Amino acid sequence: MDEWTLTSRPAYQRFFSLTLAVVGGLLMWLSHRPPNNSATAMWLGVFLTVIGLASALVAGHETVTVDPRAETITVTTDNAFTSDTRVVHFTQIENIRMNRLGSATNGMVFYSLTVELRDDKPLTLFAPGRFYAGGMNRATVDGWRSRLWGAVRGDRSPFAAA
């Protein structure tokens, strides 16, 4: 099985963050217009603006590489302030779970994988909010999970490479 790499889409993350900041700014502006002199709306606006701007600043690029030949998963994260690389060997992996964040009723459902390690804290792959292509599709993320399990188990079948 060949090495495979998935990368996040930081442009989507920044767009979402800046949209949140704009909505917060609108709430602050509208809270001062008559007859809505609501302190609650103003503070909600401040809160949304701060979160939006802060998340836009730390939005970064994440790359997940699975290398069956080297038997490793490498997660590289870069943002404006730091750069971090974490390497996990297949022998450390105990379990791989699929997670869901959100619900179908609100229209935003993200899926991710959690790699449970023997001696360390769990590693989240394809984290929600990183906007991986396919991260909102259950079948796609389950395919990533199957492919990763195939690599960890040394599966050489054509299904594992799909």
pLDDT digits (tens, 9 = 90+) for 35-93: 665 777 788 888 888 888 887 777 778 888 989 888 889 988 888 788 889 899 998 98
Phi, psi of 2 (to 5 degrees): -85, 160
One-letter amino acid at 12 equals Y
Identify whether the C-beta of residue 65 lies closer than 8 Å to the C-beta of residue 5: yes
- Picking from 21-35, 63-77, 135-149, which range would have the lowest pLDDT averaged per residue? 21-35
Radius of gyration for the alpha carbons in the chain, expressed in angstroms and rounded: 20
Cβ(92)–Cβ(118) under 8 Å?
yes
> What confidence tier does 161 reach under pLDDT thresholds 50, 70, 90?
very low
In a domain, 97, yes or no: no
Does any domain span residue 50? yes
Place of tokens 């998935």: 6
Give the residue numbers spanning the domain of 31. 12-58
**3-class DSSP state of 99:** strand
**pLDDT value of position 36:** 61
pLDDT(104) > 60:
yes
Strands (E), 28-152: 61-67, 72-78, 83-89, 93-103, 108-117, 123-125
**Residue 98 is assigned to a structural domain of this protein:** no
In a domain, 48, yes or no: yes
CA distance 155 to 151: 6
pTM to 2 decimal places: 0.68
Is residue 89 within 8 A of residue 37, CB to CB? The reply is no
Q: Is residue 44 part of a domain?
A: yes
Residue 95 in any domain: the answer is no
CA neighbours closer than 13 Å in the CB half-sphere of residue 119 = 5
Rounded Cα distance between 13 and 123, Å, is 20
Residue 155 lies in a domain: no
In a domain, 24, yes or no: yes
Report how many domains make up the chain: 1
Residue type, 45: G
